[in-house]
Amino acid sequence: MAAEGGRSPGTEPRPPRRAGRLTQLLRWQRRDWADDHELAHAIHGTVVGAAAMAAASLHGTLGEVVVTVVVTILVYWAAERYARVLSAAAHGGQRLQHALAALRRGRPMIEAAYTPLVVLVVVYFLFEDALQTAVFAALITATLLLGGLGHLAARRAGTSRAGAIGWGAVSAALGVVVIVLKLSLH
């Protein structure tokens, strides 16, 4: 005889599946990066921000590095969104609605650049004006973020855990390239 709820006697319901630790860590960043396009924008913003940071840190102060990263991300965002707005305008009716929707969809490019910038500033002040240490900490953070975003995108696409780890590693490799570039220029 089945117990209440259709279970066999002595069996407990399974708890809901917990999100992986990596997924939980990424959720604080942005809860509504809902689709593959938004995750792609986040990856793009992280790579562009990290590359701008690596280049600006060669001869700049903390303020100059932060301004360079923010302005660079905004220029990339504006150019990409402008192209989307033009594309939306070509679709005919409801142009304003399409244009506004296109502007909203690109936010993850900007939002993803925040975390490495926060790490940069915090580490800079914790280690008493050590800009290069702060930059490397921020670049490592960007690399870990890239790995996590790649993993999350792969899991959302239905990839196996092992496959998602591989995609995360490929995404993180972009950050490693920026770190190697920074080391070679320093």
Is the pLDDT at 117 greater than 60? The verdict is yes
Residue that the structure tokens 């929707």 belong to: 101
- CA atoms within a 13 Å half-sphere pointing along the CA-CB vector of 173: 6
Q: How many residues does the chain have?
A: 186
The pTM for the full model equals 0.76
Element (H, E) at 97: helix 95-105
Residue that the structure tokens 């709820």 belong to: 5
pLDDT at 102: 75
Residue that the structure tokens 């995360």 belong to: 168
Q: What is the mean pLDDT of the chain?
A: 82
**What span, in angstroms and rounded, lies between the C-alpha atoms of 117 and 97?**
32
Residue-wise over 30-55: b if at least 16 C-beta within 10 A, else e? beebeeeebbebbbbbbbbbbbbbbb
Tokens encoding 78: 């504006």
Q: pLDDT for 125-168, tens place per residue?
A: 998 879 999 999 999 999 999 999 999 888 888 899 999 999 99
Is the pLDDT at 22 greater than 60? The verdict is no
Q: So where are the chain's domains? A: 35-185
pLDDT at 10: 54
Arithmetic mean of pLDDT, 97-112: 80
Confidence category of residue 32, pLDDT binned at 50, 70, 90: low
Element (H, E) at 169: helix 161-185
Confidence category of residue 9, pLDDT binned at 50, 70, 90: low
* Residue in 73, 44, 37 with CA at minimum distance from that of residue 174: 44
Confidence category of residue 20, pLDDT binned at 50, 70, 90: low
Higher pLDDT, 128 or 124: 124
User: Cβ neighbours of residue 6 under 8 Å, at least 6 residues apart?
Assistant: none
